[in-house]
Chain A
């Protein structure tokens, strides 16, 4: 289990990285935190001719307030997100979800850009960005484009990024007042990828009436799935246990997850509904308390 041969470049600017990708295109692979790519290399499941390591590009690691929300540089480590006060304040859902990712040593290296670009549908952050309706900034020597999360994730381990594009920034809307969020998941062990994970956000207006609700589910399809048809039920309502149970039921109903060796399709279907109900309940509780 040793990596195959490749050429290695470690540019120190985004431009230099883009030039390398422009030159090598599909033969190149971008290395960010390496917590998914390096295992694939060690197993020789991928064999890029060229590895473009972004870790030398300090300018890609940042957490910046932006339009009431956040702009996160793609090379921002998960550990930095976990510790950031501004992340907790503006996008608490991110801070709630990050502790579910692997373990401390993984989060010390793993980056937000890397986990999104890897696009494992059972991963936590793709579901979080999908639930939040975040946008992703892609750059290449051809220019820059901004994609909403639901257009970025295309399929299992597949994104809309072209071979010469780098995901450089993630933009997340901030949580308004009286907005609560929660992340819940079931995994085989602590730190494993989710069998099912749910990211939920709820906003309340005056009189505790729900003004916005969003749920994205990880581990139940080729991409993290928004279940707007189900959460719509909450809008204009003062959700109680029965409403939440109904939302959960609808979430279950509308999913057709794939089975793998850790869980059947039926299991994932059922548990997605259970966790949606529970996560929404938790988020609602926080929203009623003023938000977080």
Chain B
């Protein structure tokens, strides 16, 4: 492929509308007669529902209806999207709670009114008679005998136990000459896109057609779920994507509201809009990340890792949602990371608690596992008296080992790295960070009494989850190229990157390509956008479809020009004989020449259109290294991130500008998770962080003073024609690790142990004090 546009730093097709306020986000949509819905949620973490009385709310002016659980009839529970398990089917969430509520925020009723203000007025009048039950808020406690049971039908809080590994981890650990144990807590935090969730549903009684705007990520899958739950034929249900204010894993999964809003619209025969507010977003949308690790590593005296054993407690919250166990599963699957670890064992205990259910958040499972592994590798370096960089150098999987079987599984499939030079990305990062002189400057700072620390975070990401993606490319009657993709746009520049891929295949400018996505009426098949799969699976599908279309165009042109297709080229929206640019046909002329009724090339049907299903049976694995330099004020616990380097190898960058943007954005989220953001519960299961004054997204002032991003293209994936590996998550994956290691390094002279995230001023000062009293006690 020529590659004129793939690889170009092209400004985005999406931006003009977004910059001028002409984007259309869910809350911007208006339909005549539209009603506004508000969800009434449980104020208790665990309670028996004695009665819900909606009479006063129904009588309020402007209220169209109030629905409670029994009103829904025999509606099913929301199924798992990923790796469904029969054992937990009773632990899936109903659209409205029946009998019991299990977390603060569990939907109890829906109020529908003329406008949002009135809907909120009425929501306050719904009377909930709830009898509080004992609450469990911590995964380890939930697994102890006698703990309150979240799902009585299951009879225990252990939702799932996953075991994986290779070799003889216990024996190898026992025999290892050097061993380090750690206990590390990764706290609950989540994606928190700046646009909250929302839906708009319209039912047309005349045609029985139901249209749902808003849920963006896996529209075709969700359409199937809604069709099943409603018992309504799938062809009468249409999902339409809007502009979307960020996804990050949490948006677009099938949530209770995704049933309630369409159901209410059908029942009331009026359009119903629901726009989540920020408080309920923090209560109701998926939480993520909360894990406790008990990990042990063993190495020989040269620092070569011989064994890694981890027990992981994963807090699932109150129900199993669509992601099922994918987050803890991926933690264990990817825990070995870039290192050769011959003996590996992981046991994952997934526990129910009376908290918001969990799902994926950017780098799901990997952010958590990476910080835990990279911390213990640093501690191993300390134990051996080696520089942290040196221990890593001695353990990387080498390019000669590729493809490399890690010895773990993701959803029971072996994790096999497709390609990569982990050491190369590591060297690139250390060189950009000027690691040697950084260490010298650190020593100098320490002499001045300053607590400066350097932290490394090496990681492997996964991307390109299949099983397939669909694309169709057509030339419309005006000669314009239209790409239809089964992917969804979450704000990441999908329209631009797909246009770039298509532009190279068809010899047109990306500006002359329209990308259509997220409309189930216009796109027959689609898997969707998650896990950095879009460019890999959807991008290759577009390349295949466009390439097939190119051949088709040539066939039609050959017929018209009385030449052989091999003698033709596509360029600048025209097809012409090689070397004779003025003797050709425009795509517009060809589109008309290919219409039904016109002469056809042998064996071809009319129309300038081609579709493709790209199959991706194996995942692909991008990888990289982060290097953070921080200064800690030991008296106040403040952390200043002075400099940050990311080197990330994604095989091939379609638009390096967009890739760099993804990495910088991922870093901000990872930094937020490491230093600022936390979903805090009290013992009674009340979420204390339900505002942006308490749930702290990083501002520009908390970001590194300088950030260097290196996008590497050294190891294209052998598993897809474009050589792409996903770019969406690597800015996040290594950041918790690099920052935790940097803070630990800064405070190492004080004997501080960093054993969890987030690293807040208060936790840092507390750990410094704890270290001081340990020293005191030893004296």
Question: A residues bordering B, Cβ < 8 Å?
Answer: 1-5, 39, 43-44, 186, 188-193, 195, 261-264, 266-267, 270-271, 274-275
Contacts and interface: CB of A to CB of B under 8 A. Distances in A.
B116 interface: yes
A270 B772 CA distance: 14
Given A189-B698, A189-B701, A266-B766, 8 more contacts: A2-B120, A186-B638, A188-B696, A195-B762, A261-B688, A261-B694, A263-B760, A271-B761
Given A186-B638, A262-B762, A1 B279 contact: yes
Contacts of A5: 121
Nearest to B276: A1
B702 A267 contact: no
B24 interface: no
A188 B766 contact: no
A5 B121 CA distance: 8
Contacts of B124: 44
B56 interface: no
Would you call the interface of chain A mostly helix, strand, loop, or mixed? loop
Nearest to B678: A261
Contacts of B691: 39, 43
Nearest to A267: B762
A77 B117 CA distance: 30
Interface residues of B, number: 30
B699 interface: yes
22 contacts: A1-B277, A4-B121, A43-B691, A186-B638, A188-B676, A188-B696, A188-B761, A189-B676, A189-B698, A189-B699, A190-B701, A191-B699, A191-B701, A193-B693, A261-B680, A262-B760, A263-B761, A264-B766, A266-B765, A267-B765, A270-B765, A274-B636
B514 to A, nearest CB: 37
B9 interface: no
Contacts of A39: 691
B195 to A, nearest CB: 15
A262 B121 CA distance: 32
Nearest first, the 4 closest Cβ-Cβ pairs linking A and B are: A190-B701, A1-B277, A263-B762, A267-B762
B635 A271 contact: yes
Contacts of A267: 637, 761-762, 765-766
A188 B760 contact: yes
A193 B279 CA distance: 19
B120 A192 contact: no
Contacts of A191: 699, 701
B67 to A, nearest CB: 21
A189 B696 contact: yes
Interface in B672-707: 676, 680, 688-689, 691, 693-694, 696, 698-699, 701-702
B769 A266 contact: yes
Contacts of A3: 117
B371 to A, nearest CB: 20
Nearest to B123: A44
A186 B636 contact: yes
Contacts of B701: 189-191
A192 B698 CA distance: 11
Contacts of A44: 120, 124
A258 to B, nearest CB: 13
Nearest to B278: A1
A261 B676 CA distance: 12
A266 to B, nearest CB: 7
Interface string B638-650: 1000000000000
Contacts of A4: 120-121
Residue among B638, B698, B762, B766 having the largest count of chain A Cβ atoms under 10 Å? B762
Interface string B659-676: 000000000000000001
A190 B120 contact: no
A192 B694 CA distance: 10
Contacts of A43: 279, 691
Nearest to B694: A261
Interface of B: 116-117, 120-121, 124, 277-279, 635-638, 676, 680, 688-689, 691, 693-694, 696, 698-699, 701-702, 760-762, 765-766, 769
A3 B277 CA distance: 13
B750 to A, nearest CB: 15
Contact of A271 (B277, B636, B696): B636
Contacts of B638: 186
Contacts of B693: 192-193
Nearest to B689: A261
B271 to A, nearest CB: 20
Nearest to A42: B277
A191 B676 CA distance: 14
A44 B38 CA distance: 15
Contacts of B635: 270-271, 274
Nearest to A259: B762
A275 B637 CA distance: 12
A44 B278 CA distance: 14
A274 B761 CA distance: 13
Contacts of B680: 261
Nearest to B697: A189
Contacts of A192: 693, 696
A2 B696 contact: no
A195 B636 CA distance: 10
Residue among A188, A264, A275 having the largest count of chain B Cβ atoms under 10 Å? A188
A39 B701 CA distance: 24
Given A2-B117, A190-B701, A271 B765 contact: yes
Contacts of B688: 261
A44 B120 CA distance: 10
Nearest to A103: B699
A86 B141 CA distance: 60
A271 B638 CA distance: 11
Contacts of B637: 186, 267, 271
Contacts of B769: 266, 270
Contacts of B689: 261
Contacts of A186: 636-638, 761
Nearest to B701: A190
Contacts of B636: 186, 271, 274-275
A192 B701 CA distance: 12
A43 B769 CA distance: 38
Contacts of A190: 699, 701-702
Contacts of A275: 636
B80 to A, nearest CB: 31
A270 B633 CA distance: 13
A39 B693 CA distance: 11
Contacts of B765: 266-267, 270-271
Contacts of B279: 1, 43
Contacts of A262: 694, 760, 762
A263 B696 CA distance: 14
A2 B701 CA distance: 30
Contacts of B676: 188-189
A271 B633 CA distance: 11
A271 B680 CA distance: 23
Contacts of A264: 762, 766
A270 B761 CA distance: 12
Contact of A195 (B117, B702, B761): B761
B778 to A, nearest CB: 21
B105 to A, nearest CB: 15
A186 B688 CA distance: 21
Nearest to B120: A2
Nearest to A195: B761
A239 to B, nearest CB: 19
